[in-house]
Amino acid sequence: MKHTSSTKSPRGIYLVGFSGSGKSTISKLIAKKLQWRACDLDELIVERAGLDIPTLFSREGEPGFRLRESEALHAASSHGPFVIATGGGTVVRSENRNLMARKGWIIFLEAQAEVLHARIQRQLENCDTKAIRPLLDAVYPLDQIRSLKHTRQPVYSLADWTIHTDRLTADQVADEVIRAVHLLEHSREPAVLQDMVGVPRRHSLNTDLPPPIVVAAGAWPYQVIVGWNNLSSLGQQVKRVLPHTHRAAILTDASTWQQVGSTVEQSLGTEGVEVHVRKIAAQESIKTLAEVNAIYEWLLEIHFHRDDALVVIGGGAIDDVGGFAASTYMRGVPLVKIPTSLEGMVDTSIGGKTALNHPRARNLIGTFYHPRLVWTDASLLFDEPKEQQRAAWAEVVKYAMLENSLLREEPVGSSLFSLVTENLGKLAALEKGTLLNIIARCVALKAQVVASDERDFGNIRILLNYGHTIGHALETVMKYTLPHGSAVSIGMAIEARISVRLGLAGSDVATRQNELLTRLGLPTRLPEVPVDLLLAHINNDKKVLADAPRWILPTTIGRATVSSSVTQTDLLSVIRQSLHHD
Amino acid sequence: MNQLRKPPAYFKGLYEDSSFWSCCGLDGLSIVFDLPLDSIRSLTEEQKRAILHLLGYLASGEDCDLLARVVALQEVPAEERFHALVDLSFGLLPELGKDSST
């Protein structure tokens, strides 16, 4: 968690925890003892909306409710000191966690599922029919509490302090919270730990390695481990995450398996996991329903069970087709990803999107399906073809151009843009420390976005399309002969120029970005293509909204905005300019 | 579970418990209807909202026939109960699509 160093004025207190942990009651007790303002976030949401929460869910769905929840949290945190009883799901959203970490101390009220169940049972017995709490006395609902609580545990554990409340009265818990806050207020400032949507504990004592990054999205949070020469530890981690797995069905290409096969097989075998391997060609042509069907047949042949792991080793097309197969076989089986390309490591292995091609359109078919584990061995990048790797740096520049907008605040320490700009030599040499740092930064940004806006409903995930409106159109016009990263690089160069033309950004923004792209060996100039064809594809882009494409336009280095105000005249003018000079 | 153990007030109390929904989100439907969490998570957002809408109807107590049908579902296996709830809730949201298959 990020901490401010000031202790001049008391920070607020946020109580987090599962339903029934007593947050509301205890917040009032604490506020009374400290003579601070108490706030129940759920009550505030209802007051602001003029509707009860079930009606909000019914009308606006869960995404709509969570947006209101974030707004209410901002409002409640605006003046202190305060004690806020958050909703049980508030802490799941990373933007909420970041706000709470800035404004106060996050105290987790932990209780065993059985204790929560019993507390709710007592409430059921004590309350009248209007206030009946859910969960009756059957065993099954207790299992549901356990399941739900388990999915929340990784984010609850990010709190500054945990209080186990099982044996304590409400008054005792309140006193414990106050004591904890006093200790925290007077404690030594710890080394800055970046909240990369993740468990801040290091999984090893090796401080050269980034800590695991947890992606809190989908049905379960999962870890992204970024390391170096670490495949021999894969088996242990797979077994920890998937204890019931007895079989690993590995999808990869022949060349990759030759590099890593023996290490992976030994690592999994040591943990008693039986390994089956299917080698497929690492090319776009495999992204078909026919290929997926062949994978289904293979899984049936090897008696793949729904607790076994489908392990995808590779990038791009293998990641897409493997992810789709995992998401659909038996309605979803555990998926483990081992990206081997830079693009996979920084971007495509996180986020959950899978895609297959249809004869009439690329990536038309797909699902959202998250892996259970992403295992990155950055040393594998030495074996990636250089041209492919160079193109992938465009995605890193993209993250650098969006960093502050994605984080919704200033990053701690150097910006990603500065980090890349100042270490080009080290990156070209694939220097371990710098490379791991940059990969981890990108993963953390992507994880944050995915957790905030998994299905691309809001205005966050769409930011990742920066450079892609032009980029996708260019790829189509050039019949996919241009590497994706190169197309995105040109797209960013043009979209930055559009932003300057519209007065949204100073000319230095485009200049600095394009200079960095050039120094990374990436193109910023449009090749000779039919402009009218390019425009037609841009206007057919899937992000078209009411006949106007939604553009992601940078405003400064690190910030971007979504705009539908780009006219055809603006676009044509900049495209023509991009044909002739940088 | 029989009808005496699940009176209309049960559904009303469930539906009106704001902190429960705030905490669990629509995953809470698994607790309300005694269903595996994964089954609820396999549904689309619209299907989950429709089942929540169904719960709202049950909470109002106006539709005795619907109430009786849902109460009877407590006696059947979870998978059957799950599919029945999806079917019962189909069409409750004006914007729901035609295909309710899971």
Report which residue type is found at A500.
Answer: V
ipTM for the complex? 0.80
Q: How many angstroms away from the CA of B31 is the closest CA of chain A? A: 5
Contact A212, A199 (CB under 8 A): yes
Cα A312 → chain centroid: 19
User: What pLDDT does A105 receive?
Assistant: 92
Name the residue in chain B with its Cα closest to that of A62. B25
The answer to whether the Cβ–Cβ distance between B52 and A132 falls below 8 Å is: no
Note the pLDDT tens digit of each residue in A448-464.
787 666 555 556 778 88
Instruction: Please report, in tens digits, the pLDDT of each residue of chain A (582 residues total).
Output: 444 444 445 689 999 998 878 899 999 999 999 999 999 999 999 999 998 898 888 888 888 888 899 999 999 998 879 999 999 889 888 788 888 988 899 999 998 877 766 765 665 555 444 433 343 444 346 776 777 777 777 788 888 899 999 889 999 999 999 999 988 888 765 544 444 333 333 333 344 566 667 776 666 678 888 999 999 999 988 988 888 889 999 999 999 999 999 999 999 999 999 999 999 998 888 999 999 999 999 999 999 998 899 999 998 899 999 999 999 999 999 999 999 999 999 999 988 889 999 988 888 999 989 999 999 999 999 999 999 899 999 999 999 999 988 876 566 567 899 999 999 999 999 999 899 989 988 998 888 787 666 555 556 778 888 999 899 899 989 988 888 999 999 999 999 999 999 999 999 999 999 999 999 999 999 998 899 999 888 887 655 545 566 899 999 999 999 888 888 899 999 998 888 554
- A342, HSE (Cβ side, Cα atoms, 13 Å): 25
A120: Cβ contacts below 8 Å, ≥ 6 apart: A19, A20, A133, A134, A135
Looking at CA atoms only, how far is residue B57 from chain A in angstroms? Answer: 12
CA A268 to chain centre: 27
Which of A443, A224, A438 has the alpha carbon at shortest distance from A347?
A: A443
Q: What pLDDT shows up at residue B94?
A: 56
CA distance B67 to B73: 10
Would the CB atoms of A87 and B10 count as touching at under 8 Å?
Answer: no
Interface-testing mutation among A57, A60, A454, with chain B (most B C-beta atoms within 10 A): A57
CA distance A348 to chain B (A): 23
| Cβ proximity of A553 and A468 under 8 Å | no
| Rounded distance between C-alpha atoms, residue A450 and residue A464, angstroms | 10
| Beta-carbon contacts of residue A57 (< 8 Å; ≥ 6 apart) | A65, B21, B25, B26, B49, B52
Write the burial class of residue A481 (CB in 10 Å: 0-12 exposed, 13-18 middle, 19+ buried).
Answer: exposed
Find all residues with CB under 8 Å of A223, minimum gap 6, and list them.
A198, A199, A212, A213, A214, A215, A237, A241, A373, A374
The minimal CB distance from A19 to the residues B15, B23, B30 is found for B23
Query: Cα-flanking dihedrals φ and ψ of residue A159, to 5°?
Result: -60, 160
Between chains, do A62 and B34 touch, taking CB under 8 Å as contact?
Answer: no
Task: Place B57 in a pLDDT band, splitting at 50, 70 and 90.
Answer: confident
CB contact under 8 A, B18 and A53: yes
The one-letter code for the residue type at A579 is L
Look up residue A17 and give its DSSP letter: -
Question: Using a CB-CB distance cutoff of 8 angstroms, which residues of chain B are in contact with residue A53?
Answer: 18-19, 21-22
Looking at chain A, which residue has its C-alpha nearest residue B102? A331
Q: Measure CB to CB from residue B32 to each of A24, A127, A134 and give the nearest one.
A: A134
Per-residue confidence (pLDDT) for residue A36, from 0 to 100: 94
Q: Do A219 and B56 touch (CB under 8 A)?
A: no
Task: Flag if B41 and A219 touch (Cβ within 8 Å).
Answer: yes
A→B interface, C-beta within 8 Å: 18-19, 24, 41-42, 45-46, 52-54, 57-58, 61-63, 65-66, 69, 87-90, 127, 129-136, 138, 140-141, 144-145, 147-148, 151, 219, 331-332
A104 φ, ψ (degrees, to nearest 5): -165, -170
Flag if B34 and A138 touch (Cβ within 8 Å): yes
Closest by alpha carbon to B79, among B34, B47, B46?
Answer: B34
Spell out the residues 6+ positions from residue A42 whose beta carbon is closer than 8 angstroms to its own.
A24, A53, A85, A87, B18, B19, B22
Rounded to whole angstroms, the Cα distance separating A15 from A258 reads 51
What's the rounded Cα separation, in Å, for the pair A350 and A127?
Answer: 45
Question: Is-cis flag, bond preceding A81, omega within 30?
Answer: yes
User: What residues in A contact B22, CB-CB < 8 Å?
Assistant: 19, 41-42, 45, 53, 65, 69, 87-90
Name the residue among B15, B20, B26 with its Cβ closest to that of A62.
Answer: B26
**B13 and A53: CB-CB below 8 Å?**
no
Using CA atoms, how far residue A298 sits from A301, A302, A315, A329, in Å, is 5, 6, 21, 11
User: Chain B partners of A127 at a C-beta cutoff of 8 Å?
Assistant: 13
State how far residue B81 is from chain A, nearest Cα, in angstroms.
Answer: 14
Q: pTM to 2 decimals?
A: 0.60
Residues of A whose CB is below 8 A from B1: 138
Whole-angstrom distance, CA of residue A169 vs CA of residue A162: 16
Per DSSP, the residues of A234-293 read HHHHHHHH-TT--EEEEEE-HHHHHHHHHHHHHHHHHTT-EEEEEE---SGGG-SHHHHH
For A409-444, letters b (16+ CB in 10 Å) and e give eebeeebbbebbbebeeebeeeeeebbbbbbbbbbb
Task: Please tell me the predicted confidence (pLDDT) of residue A206.
Answer: 46
Q: pLDDT value at position A518?
A: 95
> Looking at CA atoms only, how far is residue B68 from chain A in angstroms?
19
